[in-house]
């Protein structure tokens, strides 16, 4: 094959590729984050309707510790969703501070409650608090599961490069929103139960789910 024939074949190949090109719409970070939060909020609202609201929860809205804990959970869910969306766009990166701060935030909240114990928890009953918290931990995971899966489905259509951190933030966002629902539904409001059954599992479950999320997100790369 001569040089001219080879050049002709290359030109034909390039032309065939050009013909199949389609315009690409730029991904808007704010729009992506808003869609992720909206989808998760829909699932959270459905979870509230399914689980119900505890009879004593309305009185807790007048308690400062309850409001602070709820605010931390909501802010953690929103910030995690934003950072997850940001990391799913090539060229957008998240600083190391946020990669450590957000996953440790529920752990810090648990530590503060265990130290302060503003609701009069008894340290001698630590074992019973752990056993009583297991149903709430299971409920936390069950409520977060649909929101986590829909987040991964959305992320698989994008191109996250750091799949581990992206999966971690997706898990954190879903679990933090699930914790909001759980705190509205749970009839127990003492510090030890909340710390060990509600908040500490957020960090533990998010770290476990991050590995699964990373594997699923890596599986979506280089697929047409």
pLDDT digits (tens, 9 = 90+) for 50-85: 766 666 667 777 778 788 888 888 888 888 888 887
For residue 59, how many C-alpha atoms fall within 13 Å in the half-sphere facing its CB? 6
More confident: 89 or 198: 198
In a domain, 43, yes or no: yes
In a domain, 9, yes or no: no
What pLDDT, in 10s, does the model give residues 87-109?
A: 777 666 677 777 778 888 888 88
Q: Is 128 within the bounds of a domain? A: yes
User: Does residue 18 belong to any structural domain of this protein?
Assistant: no
- Domain of residue 63 covers 27-218
pLDDT class for 216, splitting at 50, 70, 90?
confident
**Radius of gyration (Cα) for the chain, nearest Å?**
23
- How far is the C-alpha of 177 from the C-alpha of 70, rounded, in Å? 10
Read off the tokens for 168.
Answer: 């971690």
Q: How far, in Å, CA of 220 to CA of 224, rounded?
A: 9
CA atoms within 13 A on the CB side of 38: 7
Is 75 within a domain?
A: yes
Q: Confidence band (pLDDT; 50, 70, 90) for 205?
A: very high
Q: How much is the pLDDT for 151?
A: 82
> 41, 158, 52, 162: which is closest to 99 by C-alpha?
162
**What average pLDDT does this structure show over 24-36?**
65
Classify 220 as helix, strand or coil.
Answer: coil
Residue 5 counted as domain residue: no
Give the mean model confidence (pLDDT) for residues 14-34: 61
Q: In this predicted model, which residue has the larger pLDDT, 196 or 48?
A: 196
Identify whether 1 is part of a domain: no
CA atoms of 84 and 26, how far apart (whole Å): 17
The residue with greater pLDDT, 128 or 6, is 128
The pLDDT assigned to 46 comes to 79
Per the structure, the count of domains in the chain is: 1
- Cβ within 8 Å of residue 167, ≥6 positions away: 152, 155, 209, 210, 211, 212, 213, 214, 216, 217
Highest mean pLDDT among 74-78, 81-85, 113-117, 155-159 belongs to 74-78
Residue 2 lies in a domain: no
For the chain, what percent of residues have pLDDT higher than 70? 71
Round the average pLDDT of the chain to a whole number and report it. Answer: 76
């Amino acid at each position: 094959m001569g040089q001219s024939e080879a050049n002709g074949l290359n030109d034909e190949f390039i032309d065939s590729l050009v013909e199949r090109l389609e315009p690409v719409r730029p991904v808007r970070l704010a729009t992506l984050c808003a869609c992720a939060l909206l989808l998760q909020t829909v699932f959270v609202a459905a979870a509230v309707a399914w689980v119900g609201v505890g009879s004593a929860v309305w009185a807790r809205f007048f308690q400062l510790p309850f409001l602070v804990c709820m605010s931390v959970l909501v802010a953690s869910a929103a910030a995690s969703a934003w950072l997850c969306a940001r990391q799913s766009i090539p060229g957008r990166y998240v600083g190391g501070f946020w990669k450590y701060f957000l996953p440790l935030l529920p752990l810090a909240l648990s530590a503060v409650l265990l130290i302060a114990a503003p609701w009069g928890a008894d340290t001698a009953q630590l074992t019973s608090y752990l056993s009583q918290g297991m149903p709430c931990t299971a409920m936390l995971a069950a409520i977060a599961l649909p929101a986590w899966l829909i987040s991964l489905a959305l992320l698989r259509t994008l191109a996250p490069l750091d799949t581990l951190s992206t999966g971690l933030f997706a898990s954190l966002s879903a679990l933090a929103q699930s914790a909001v629902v759980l705190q509205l539904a749970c009839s127990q409001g003492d510090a030890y139960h909340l710390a060990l059954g509600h908040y500490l599992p957020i960090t533990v479950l998010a770290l476990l789910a991050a590995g699964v999320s990373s594997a699923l997100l890596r599986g979506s790369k280089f697929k047409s």
